[in-house]
Amino acid sequence: MISTELARALREAGLVWHPQPGDRFQLDEPEFEADVFTVSEMTIEARSYSTGSVLAFNGTTEWALDSVALEDALWLPHEAQLREMLRGTFRSLRRLADTHEVEIVVHATAGVVGETLVFEHPEPADAYALAVLELLRRIA
């Protein structure tokens, strides 16, 4: 699972979350930082209304929450979701002695060699998140 800090940086860089079953999130309040929730049609369901999207807590005893506005939740994308966001730029994930490296190539086209970028972090999901963050910053 990626760190709260990287999840927040991804959101601030423009990453948009469309909740799906299995997605993990935290409530974006300091007192809830240690609590991680999972979207599930049985307990926490994403609902869209004309006024915005909410995460509805169905029949749970989680602090008697009925729902939380999507903007008050912090998505914690998992490794596979982050890798998918890299799409054709992704080249490899390498495990080294005490870190993981994610390698991507940007600005590559047919017959043109692109720029190779490498992102290191002890956690593979965070290495992927750093690569996605760089792509978002280049798009902005």
Q: List pLDDT tens digits, range 44-65.
A: 778 888 888 888 876 655 555 5
| pLDDT score, position 60 | 53
- Residue ranges covered by each domain of the chain: 18-75, 79-139
The token pair that represents 53 in the structure block = 């999207």
57-62's contacts with Cβ under 8 Å and 24+ in sequence apart are 62/37
Which amino acid is located at 76 in the chain? Answer: L
Predicted TM-score of the model (pTM): 0.83
The torsion region of residue 113 among left (phi > 0), alpha (psi -120 to 50) and beta comes to beta
| pLDDT score, position 65 | 59
Strand partners for 120: 101
Q: List pLDDT tens digits, range 84-113.
A: 999 999 999 999 999 999 999 998 666 777
- Other CB atoms within 10 A of residue 138 CB: 10
